[in-house]
Amino acid sequence: MAWGWTKHGDGKSLAPDEVVRPEERLSWPRMVGFGAQHVIAMFGATFVFPLVMGLDPNVAVMMSGVATILFLLIVKGKVPSYLGTSASFVGGVFAIRAAAGGDTAGADAIVTGAILVAGLVLALAGLAVHWLGVQIIHRVFPPVVTGAVVMLIGFGLAFVVADVYWPQDQWVAFLTMLVTFLVIVGFKGFIGRIGVLVGLVVGFVLSWGLDKTAGPITAKLPGQNLRDAAGASCPVEGTYCVATPFAHDRVSFAAFEQAPWFGLPDFHVPDFKTSAVLLVLPAVIALIAENVGHVKAVGEMTGTDVDPYVGRAIAADGAATVLTSAVGGSPTTTYAENIGVMAATKVYSTAAYYIAGAIAILFGLSPKFGALVAATPGGVLGGVTVILYGMIGLLGAKIWIENRVNFADPVNMVPIGAGVILAIGPVKHVIGGDFTLEGIALGTVVVVGGYHLLRVIAGRRAAEPARPAGSDAG
């Protein structure tokens, strides 16, 4: 069922141990609040990663809303998830731009053309899983591997907190995190369920207040005040051109004031080059694993069997990537940030995601609203993402515990431990030329490939399908 929701209880309150299931909802004003929370959770990465890849962030935000609604329709509303910009393509995109002339309109078209083909391959892989049976996924991703993929998805984003958000304003980040802690645990009703949103609002107001009372802060901002080794200004961030600290307000409304209320983002048509496609195809492996991990995480949280929808979810992500890149947008993936929000709120209603998708589309059509959300300080984002990413990582451990994965067995322990560390690093591994696997993508390849390689070496039979919780899974 993709549309239609049953009201949960009186639609206003939840007992501490209650959850709102995907097919349920609370009152519509409350659902708007949850939808807004999902938009804010996804906005930072969905806005930043297109900038990193040299693509239009307004197109990415708008099309993420379209992609999310398409995803929900394809999975028939059974897998609540938000589709934001994928980071798995960053290395491949850098390599394409290096070969295609850098940050030019022609290179933009080649980048999105390569991403479109990768999305098509991902969609076909999802269809294969759907028609051939989910047992294929169970063999490739038994509980020990699934738990590891979920864990490295969460913990593999730790560098975003450590290197990007937290250093921008460490005390605001710390206080935002503390407020979010207290709201989530201290309030058992609706306020507790939107603790992440409350933490963001409090952090935003605190940052604005500090600007008025304590003055500007000196810190680095991604892509700003770029300097080379000699200290001279340089145009494009890279190995020899990096962001350096400078004094600035924590909250800047300059982009908000200049942005128009209404307007279409800058779309463009993709261009197709075989050499470029080959550079991004390895990301498909990471996206399959990422989607499986996210779907499994949702199943763990909701206590439902979502295995029949794994193929649909993979195909839907691929179809969404095809659609977004066809108009110049970014590649998509199911978002760990939003799964973290569900883990914190216990509200799994797909209604919240439809609302979030609609809001994102409106943001794309109204650059002024998008600029307001984009004004959320990095320190504030650091305070909430450290919670969200950590929750995702621990969901992986939960999968291991409930399936009694045996880590006394080196076939389980060795590749899983290595893969998680590679993701957390994040470690970079140059494959050839300008192509690099790193972080979550590299960790995923090592976990999946290493586990099955060691099973063959150990002379074991192929991995069995996932067993019910309480059985020996490793």
Q: Is the pLDDT of residue 472 over 50?
A: no
- pLDDT given at position 113: 92
In contact, 384 and 38? CB cutoff 8 Å:
no
In contact, 243 and 222? CB cutoff 8 Å:
yes
Band (pLDDT 50/70/90 cuts) for residue 282 is low
Q: Which residues contact 62 (CB under 8 A, 6 or more apart)?
A: 265, 329, 360, 361, 363, 364, 365
| Helix (H) / strand (E) containing 252 | none
d(CA 335, CA 474): 28
Burial of residue 254 (number of CB atoms within 10 Å: 0-12, 13-18, 19+): exposed
| Helix (H) / strand (E) containing 105 | helix 105-132
d(CA 310, CA 407): 26
- In total, the chain counts a number of residues equal to 474
Cα 279 to chain centroid, rounded: 21
- The one-letter code for the residue type at 10 is D
d(CA 34, CA 101): 43
d(CA 405, CA 387): 25
Q: For residue 455, how many other CB atoms are within 10 A of its CB?
A: 17
User: Over the stretch 134-174, which tens digit does the pLDDT of each residue have?
Assistant: 777 778 778 888 788 778 877 887 887 888 889 998 999 99
Band (pLDDT 50/70/90 cuts) for residue 95 is low
d(CA 271, CA 192): 47
List the single range of 90-94, 112-116, 390-394, 449-453 with lowest mean pLDDT: 90-94
